Amino acid sequence: MVSSLPQLEINLETEAEFVARHIGITPADLPEMLSLLGYGSLEELINAVIPLGIRLQRPLALGEGLGEVAALQKLRTIAEKNQVWRSYIGMGYYNCITPAVIQRNILENPGWYTAYTPYQAEIAQGRLEALLNFQTLVSDLTALPIANASLLDEATAAAEAMTLSLNACRQKGAKRFLVAQDCHPQTLAVLRTRALPLGIELVPVDPLGEELPWENAFGLLLQYPASDGAVRSPQALIAAAHEQGLLVTVATDLLALTLLTPPGELGADIAVGSSQRFGVPLGYGGPHAAFFATREEFKRQLPGRLVGVSHDALGQKALRLALQTREQHIRREKATSNICTAQVLLAVVASMYAVYHGPEGLRQIAERIHQRAVTLGASLEAAGYQLYHSEFFDTLRIGLGNLPVQVLRERAAAAQINLRYFDDGSVGISLDETTTEQDVVDLLKLFGAPPVAGSGGDRLPPTLKRQSVYLQHPVFQEYHSEHALLRYMHRLQAKDLSLTTSMIPLGSCTMKLNAAAEMLPISWPEFNQLHPFVPPEQAQGYRQLFQELEAMLAEITGFEAISLQPNAGSQGEYAGLLVIRQYHHSRGEPQRNVCLIPTSAHGTNPASAVMAGMQVVAVNCDAQGNIDVADLAAKAETYSDRLGALMITYPSTHGVFETEIRQICEIIHRYGGQVYMDGANMNAQVGLCRPGDFGADVCHLNLHKTFCIPHGGGGPGVGPIGVKAHLAPFLPTTRLIPQGAEIGPVTAAPWGSASILPISWMYITLMGGTGLTRATAIAILNANYVAKRLEPYYPVLYKGAHGLVAHECILDLRPLKKSAGIEVEDVAKRLMDYGFHAPTVSWPVPGTMMIEPTESETKAELDRFCDAMIAIRREIAEIEAGVSDPQQNPLKNAPHPALMLAQDPWPYPYSREVAAYPAPWLREYKFWPAVARIDNAYGDRHLVCSCSTPITAPES
């Protein structure tokens, strides 16, 4: 028996003031909870749960946790090392104004940022409506009928367009993707990374060239306006590409499209870009909501999430996620994308920005920017400078003539102004919403040019001026006053269940407290007002933050190197596998492309492996949900000369610490492979064991799970990877072009979603090593407590060696279908009537529920959830006994919104009270589902994914 380790004991009243606020279980709760489980101490329980051979035998070297005031002061000194200059760099990133009503009521509001992905649509109608508004915004401005609910960044969206074009291409053997040279350089860099493992030849082309290399090409990407500001019609080039059988993607700017002819009207098949300048802070590169719009025929290939319109059991309009939202997971290695997330919180901000300003307000903002660019351009021309492009929207490229570029640099630095410097000696200036008349004067001073009065007119191509209307739906017409918008946003918020309402017990998703002190710094201008491509000396605070956070995560995981760049868990998976691929290639073993993946793995795992150019081979699991070690060994031997990697989740996808983990890793290493560990379940390991110690070579971490970045209603997230020393040289580069063994960038910004990294830095700093370790132990305690309380009513499907689970448990509801005709979905919907979001439904095993209570919940909240589940089981027992009708019962008709309760006469054989108030706590506070049960099948048969499209009446 391992001796008691001090990190599980903590004085919650003295040195760790924040720990007691983060952890919901008090010392007074422990005896009762441990007694139920049959253990005398928390240490004894942990020793029984985690295999002793992998236990960390020392405290984490992270120091003691700080109080909130001290931690914020420490972070403030770091933030002040960043220098916020006026940036006119452009490249798809712009300063903008986040309206205060949106900043306070969306971006900084836990009712919006602590909600989960809207898989349980009846209690997520607010977010779904905001996302439908976002889709409408994108569809209207691009003039393409289908738009998704956002992607991770513009470069990722372009890469997704590339793979969609490849998969849709009818020409056999076509492997060339043509990319205009005037696209944003970070987009080109990410495309190079994504193209290589798929065998795609990326061909930069001159969009003004007379003849493009069409042979064996499947797609073309154009930038409109171009990265250096040029606005020219792509219509002829699009038509020529179509004649050759290519699909054409146009990367574009939503604000520019209020003035310019949209891509859909020019013939484009796909439009991508970023909605960042619609009120989302620069944040040193992210998070920002990218967009992806396309034609109807590609709706089933669309990456990411799509919000669609359907109706509920009462015939009301109701929204839910449609089509491919789950199809990509189901397809596994046949998936066309590994992206299972979105940038929901940022898409909501962008949509509300458009709602607030409306079409006329957006057009006025665009016209004001353009007029200031016209004044700047005319003044520079009058002073003898050359404009590379006579027609532009907001960006100028300027030839300096006799002005030495170094002199301009010195003048700009003295004025604390950032410009874009091209390799040929020219300079770029991108204006934005925040640019004032004085800013234009200050810019002209750098060139020694006086402003030219009354320049007037515009510099848009006459043939490209937008004629079509947009954003005509009432939602973009009615909320232009702050009072009106405030009420609209709060109406939507009231339709969503978030952590402000109750616990969200989702397995594998770790919905824990996102403390206010952790969230405050994301609004500091030193963090959220930096352009991602400012000179490094202006971002020294960020550099220190990155270095400290990397060191913290390295200590927690046992890895030697960390990359913070991946901006989602899916991107972390992909980056980790690319690192492994590059490692094998560096050793002269490019044939090592087989990736072993257990049948229980997340659906993103096989999709990521295929994107990384690997062949997926499934490994069986045994009856307990563990990896079948014999099958693993046999397949590792069979593919020994081609074995590249094993992808494994630990604790297992079934919520159990597999005792053979060291043996599993040794088998893979014996045959020359590398072990990739999915870090989705890291909340069960922090401070107690480390993947780098027991055999993993690579691991991605979900900072939006274990390390307190909130889920934001389905995004943002951050998915950094840790690697052992031998893989460190291959981590993603922060440069646009690799200069060594690195794999190239996987996201548009060098440091991914940099502006939300302070949240995780704060969490670790507040908790300290001892607090983090105790949090993990309490998470494990809570999961076992819930499992023990519920096991008499619902069998716990998988357990470890001592009959215990890790930080989550799976309840088997499959027998209920036979005994009472009750599906797992019926229980999920009935939980809404009790005021709870359902646990993870039908994953990893169909017909089950996976519960993860986290360390942040109080014992009272755990008991309330358990009481709800037990009460539902009693309702099921009444069906089994013939007391309740097998079809007309509270579960089959759940959830029961207020409108349903108002029916007269009441049509059901149970009372209104049973329907709406089945538990005593509901009389004190009742969360009402906004709609009744939604008809998903109808919504997919009659796909409507924008609020501009008329809704047909439900079928009778």
CA distances from 298 to 148, 219, 292, 302, 839 (A): 12, 14, 11, 6, 32
> CA–CA separation, 793 vs 106, rounded Å?
40
Identity (one letter) of the amino acid at 368?
R
pLDDT (0 to 100) of residue 949? 54
CA distances from 571 to 29, 346, 559, 656, 770 (A): 40, 18, 19, 25, 30
pLDDT (0 to 100) of residue 331? 62
Residue with tokens 């074995």: 643
pLDDT (0 to 100) of residue 211? 87
Of 295, 248, 293, which Cα lies nearest the Cα of 137? 293
Asked whether 622 and 589 are in contact (CB, 8 A), the reply is no
Asked whether 897 and 932 are in contact (CB, 8 A), the reply is yes
Asked whether 800 and 660 are in contact (CB, 8 A), the reply is no
pLDDT (0 to 100) of residue 334? 67
Least confident of 10-24, 246-260, 840-854: 10-24
* Cβ within 8 Å of residue 724, ≥6 positions away: 559, 560, 692, 696, 697, 698
Query: What does the chain come to in residues?
Result: 956
Question: By 3-state DSSP, what share of the chain in percent is helix, strand and coil, each rounded to 5?
Answer: 40, 15, 45
878 by Cβ neighbours in 10 Å (0-12 / 13-18 / 19+) ranks as middle
Of 652, 651, 646, 653, which Cα lies nearest the Cα of 617? 646
Give yes or no for residue 953 having a pLDDT over 50: no
Least confident of 319-323, 698-702, 748-752: 319-323
Mean pLDDT for 404-416 is 98
Identity (one letter) of the amino acid at 205?
V
Give yes or no for residue 582 having a pLDDT over 90: yes
Mean pLDDT for 428-448 is 98
Give yes or no for residue 15 having a pLDDT over 80: no
Of 735, 747, 716, which Cα lies nearest the Cα of 288? 716
pLDDT (0 to 100) of residue 330? 57
> CA–CA separation, 761 vs 564, rounded Å?
12
Mean pLDDT for 663-671 is 98
Asked whether 693 and 547 are in contact (CB, 8 A), the reply is no
Mean pLDDT of the chain: 94
pLDDT (0 to 100) of residue 945? 82
Give yes or no for residue 858 having a pLDDT over 60: yes
Asked whether 592 and 644 are in contact (CB, 8 A), the reply is yes
Share of the chain above pLDDT 70, in %: 96
Give yes or no for residue 469 having a pLDDT over 80: yes
Mean pLDDT for 528-545 is 98
> CA–CA separation, 851 vs 863, rounded Å?
14
Give residue-wise pLDDT tens across range 163-218: 999 999 988 889 999 999 999 999 999 999 999 999 999 999 999 987 899 999 99
Give yes or no for residue 12 having a pLDDT over 60: no
- How much is the pTM? 0.96
> CA–CA separation, 200 vs 192, rounded Å?
9
HEC-encoded secondary structure of 917-931: CCCHHHHCCCCCCCC
Mean pLDDT for 885-899 is 97
Give yes or no for residue 313 having a pLDDT over 80: yes
Helix, strand or coil, per DSSP, at residue 915? helix
Residue with tokens 């307190």: 708
pLDDT (0 to 100) of residue 4? 45
- In this prediction, residue 90 has a pLDDT band, given cuts at 50, 70 and 90, of very high
Q: What are phi and psi of 377, to 5 degrees?
A: -65, -45
Q: Give the angle 882-886-887 at the CA atoms, nearest 5°.
A: 155
CA distances from 529 to 344, 369, 409 (A): 20, 19, 21
> CA–CA separation, 225 vs 466, rounded Å?
14
> CA–CA separation, 740 vs 721, rounded Å?
19
> CA–CA separation, 273 vs 289, rounded Å?
9
